Amino acid sequence: MQYGGVPKSMGAKINTFRLRIDRDWEPDWDEFERAVNPRTRLVYVSNPHNPTGSVLSHEAMQRIVRRCDEVGAYLLADEVYLGAEIYCSRTRSFWGMSDRVIVTSGLSKAYGIPGVRIGWIVGPQDVVADCWSQHDYITIGPNKISDAVARIAVKPENREKLYARTRAILQQNLPVMRTWVDGFGDFLTFREPRAGALCLMQYHSATPSYQLCERVRVNQSVLIVPGAHLGLEGYIRVWLGGKPEFLAEGLRRIGLELHAEMARG
Ligand SMILES: Cc1ncc(COP(=O)(O)O)c(C=O)c1O
């Protein structure tokens, strides 16, 4: 919610464009071109993407970069899930595709080390200098133990080991999720994520997603994200990470509420 909320809180006008499930979650290009216009200062994309788990094709990346160059906007590419590909090859970075590209990432997703709270930004020198000075007002310095852990984690040989660990967890959990979804027949459908630890699924009932997720929270003590919070009513987002026994128990509990919902018709 921050990528919409923070600029809005600073008085910026936000334009959005939708991703099309019928086009493998590529942007709706008409909407994209309307949204990204000569008044646009910054375009935000996450790739691999939360919440769909999709990865942009190289052609789509080029098209996004070209449009940003054309209108004179910066492209902020959030690549925090890069490295968390489940079966496909490593996601290509936007870095280097134009001198208006800014990339952010961190240790909390593909690296699997959220607790250290360390991330980074790569971009044009003047942008980075500005961000640095803003950052000094917010955080005087990182926690030194986190800093030490991060320095070890980002060493190329360690990074590959951490990505492999994440991939192993996701490869273990995805079939469990697939079987669970299949158990609901037509009531629940999903397009499997290509990367990341999130599964976005569509349920087929008229109950608003917020109401459904509240039932799961209150009755089962499990948190899932209502599609309404992601601009996708009729969907829920379920986490794919974690230990198998936690995933199994979480899915069992969510399932109790979904079966009750199916029975209500
Ligand atoms: C696309 C994306 N970017 C960034 C973040 C935040 O990462 P961090 O916890 O490192 O601040 C998230 C967290 O869910 C995310 O989904």
131-162: per-residue pLDDT in tens?
A: 999 999 888 888 999 999 999 999 999 999 99
Q: How far apart are CA 155 and CA 153, in angstroms?
A: 6
Q: Angle 203-57-109 (CA atoms, 0-180°, nearest 5)?
A: 65
Between the CA of 77 and the centroid of ligand 1 the distance, in Å, is 12
pLDDT score, position 140: 82
Q: How far apart are CA 118 and CA 108, in angstroms?
A: 8
User: Residue 4: pLDDT band by 50, 70, 90 thresholds?
Assistant: confident
The reply to whether omega before 7 is within 30° of 0 (cis) is no
Query: Of 1, 50, 80, which is best to mutate to test ligand 1, by the most ligand atoms within 8 angstroms of its C-beta?
Result: 80
Q: Which residue has the tokens 């601009």?
A: 231
Query: Of 6, 45, 108, 116, which is best to mutate to test ligand 1, by the most ligand atoms within 8 angstroms of its C-beta?
Result: 108
Close Cβ partners of 243 (under 8 Å, ≥ 6 residues apart): none
Residue 265 has pLDDT above 80, yes or no: no
pLDDT score, position 249: 98
Residue 2 has pLDDT above 90, yes or no: no
Between the CA of 34 and the centroid of ligand 1 the distance, in Å, is 27
Between the CA of 80 and the centroid of ligand 1 the distance, in Å, is 7
**Are 139 and 128 within 8 A, CB to CB?**
no
183-191 mean pLDDT: 96
Pairing outcome for strands 225-226 and 235-239? antiparallel
Query: Ligand 1: which residue has its CA nearest to atom 8?
Result: 108
Tell me the per-residue pLDDT of 55-111, one tens digit each, with 9 for 90 and over.
Answer: 999 999 999 999 999 999 999 999 999 999 999 999 999 999 999 999 999 999 999
pLDDT score, position 104: 98
Q: How far apart are CA 224 and CA 190, in angstroms?
A: 15
Q: How far apart are CA 190 and CA 207, in angstroms?
A: 18
Q: Which residue has the higher pLDDT, 264 or 194?
A: 194
Between the CA of 111 and the centroid of ligand 1 the distance, in Å, is 12
Between the CA of 258 and the centroid of ligand 1 the distance, in Å, is 28
pLDDT above 70 covers what percent of the chain? 100
CA neighbor of 64 nearest in space, from 83, 78, 85: 78
Long-range contacts of 176-184 (CB under 8 A, 24+ apart): 176/244, 176/247, 176/248, 176/251, 177/238, 177/240, 177/247, 177/251, 180/251, 180/255, 183/255, 184/255, 184/258, 184/262
- Indicate the angle between helix axes 144-153 and 156-182, nearest 10 degrees: 90
Q: Which residues line ligand 1 (CB under 6 A)?
A: 46, 50, 78, 80, 106, 108, 114, 119
The residue type at 176: V
Residue 1 has pLDDT above 80, yes or no: no
pLDDT score, position 194: 98
Residues β-bridged to residue 42: 74
Indicate the pTM of the whole model: 0.95
